[in-house]
Structure 1
């Protein structure tokens, strides 16, 4: 029998019980021996008198083993003791030296475990409180930015309206003043015309008098000088000069105009501090949510546990007509599912293998998803269109993605939102649409402005709204929270990790296919590795598509064959 490869060895280490020749899945962990155990080997381990003080816990609650570090003074000994007085890690032989005589010592592994638990707790606080709260505050600021822009634009509009109103009043008053000058001018000119007529009449009179005097002065009529009375000239009529009006100007300055138009000012009040929700309130809310989830689970008939079954059992397997492989699997209503292959065949079948519907598409990986209301959403990367198939088999265009080519899609079981992975040029993003097709959110970069995704194949969503993507370009599972904040990236357990199909279950586990070592990784909701689902003996080759039904059955589709296998992996 040939030696296992590094990848198979890594898989064996994490999958099976640590007892020699035992191939069962590990569920427990001995903190004293640092050995994974199945249920049966745990019971055997406890029976030994030598192990009566050994602490055995569920695997996910295991105590992390102290990293090996050699003592510099005693190279054959490991450092595993902590001197309280000297506050120094030591090996067992150092503790017997004279300089540590009478000192008290602690087990360094216990200290390390406590520290590790503390760091894990602090990490959890960052993920569950500090990051979401900070993101909420950032969102609050973004809303304030929108509000400030809206208010300032409203103020500018009011300013322009006020200035326009003042301009209109100025034009109106100016028009009235100009009209008044015309009236005054007309009155003054009339008066001057009257004076001009007066002098015209007087001049006529003087010419008449001049003629009379000339007649009196003629030689022939000298006798007349003594006959008539003496002529008397009337005085020149008096007139008054007009008083021209004077324009009294008002010397306005900038302050006068400011008083007329108003001025923008910030209210002289203390700014309100942003409300930061205390960690206790968040913890209380989380506990309340967990309690509701627990109550919901108790009402269902499902038996849910965080432990793997002692063995992975196949519950059914059936062929899917019309496909050459099972690239991707979407569960429809009970008793039906959709399966697609690498040739663009998309087939709906029942659990007896009867073909119900077949569509020729433009191919893809995780490019279809079943919705809660019984529709199927699938994408056409070439046409850049998202289609919807209703239960009565009607196909209609649902969303046009514009310049972005859609790659994979997932319908949220939480609220019905549609999550779509899209690319354009060298860029990739996740766009969230409402179930009505309205664009809600775009996720593309992390807080440092770096691209989150490189070659995403499949997308899904966790019970808390985390968006999980298998990214072949990054050889990782990339997970962000519902706000788009990067939570973690999982890069596998061996030297190679080729992630493909991905799904989650009702407990928040993340399950992802790994084509490098032909298995499915089981992760907790924070990206912690729990186990491999399959061992090489179970004959899974090139797993591509996975999904989980309401009864915790795992559906696995393989690249090279048109069968979908169903397994029970939880107990």
Structure 2
């Protein structure tokens, strides 16, 4: 391929200009026409007498288009203005009615764009600041628990060493002091547990607020934006641990109690836990390290399949029992499991008929996976437990993850292993639930994961995660060595559902760009396989079935769309 054709191919990875027959990069946006424009079409747009007064901005500064809503009193007209005095949206004909005579009228689209931007900024604050900061504070408390146990054990060891030298005379005092340390330890641990509960409650509140903001930002619920403006409660403050110290005594028969010393908490004002200012929070992970690994053939199908020149819609159906298709997984029989934001988990056949439904803990990510044995495995992040549902619909407790919060899970099609994405790490379990691998850091000691809310495995054994807080797709090889982190192309990546196909491609949903990115095994962007031009809104759930069809679910609708993208 020539250098020119390479450049043209690269340009297709950007938003295409909305002008007919123009395929250039649409880096500008006309707020009046609601379409992207390239630089040349922008200039022509500004010169044309019909469009010279249109407002044209950079694409990232565009106004969000007001959803179409018909006036109930004048069904042939759209609601597009707002009466300031009456605080209600109207159509242009309503504004001429006597009851609105002399009232101040504003453009509803301007108000909508302003409200949308405000609520979206608040939503991002939760994802980028409040949740990571709160989770970090909770981690500090977990470390304090470990520290206090070590300190108290050390104190007890010192006390026993002194008591041994005094033999029988100090036995009684030693016992009393040891009992006192247990009482003190219990009190301190209760205090730390109370702090953990404080942040657990606050994190639960933030997740609830996330769901509410998602509803506020949904195109189907735009009226909520005018009812009230949601505000986020500040992060609760807690105090850091002031650890007890042991002051040794000088033994004497006359003063046994003084000889053994006492354990006490220093009379020091507890230092408040540091809450990092929002302005200093870093949300990007830029890693350029790449380790090339030999790909293995999946099957003879791989040798005969290739990417199709176009994506074709195969079928589309409504999934009953869910509000949105937030995550989707498929079992060996071709049946789908679909979940939404409210904990509804539904199994359907290929025609969308509901086969079974369960109510899980409210989740918002890739928390379930269908196994090759037709079982379903799903996580409960409130209890730190992974459950298993057998084909006869029996639910059993499968794995306990201890202090670690499981948020995503994937059943390997290679060997049946269970891959679990947790806050801060990825853990591999055997089919029987035995922990066999733990991945936290790269070879430079840097943390690989923050919030891997979707996870999958490629045909070569690579573990691929969609990490929301890092705005990246993080990929490690089967040994846990970091291969690459994909952070998007041309704009910030907000990754959601992720899956792979029989050719080793990685497909990931992008909530901001409203598209599905197609990557090769080494993180190179091949194309935006689905985009708003194909009717994509907010893609969240994605999977590839055994017939090599791509199924895509979106936020705000319970429609599952199936595409053919390999030939």
Rg comparison, structure with higher value: 1
Name the TM-score, length of structure 1 as normaliser: 0.48
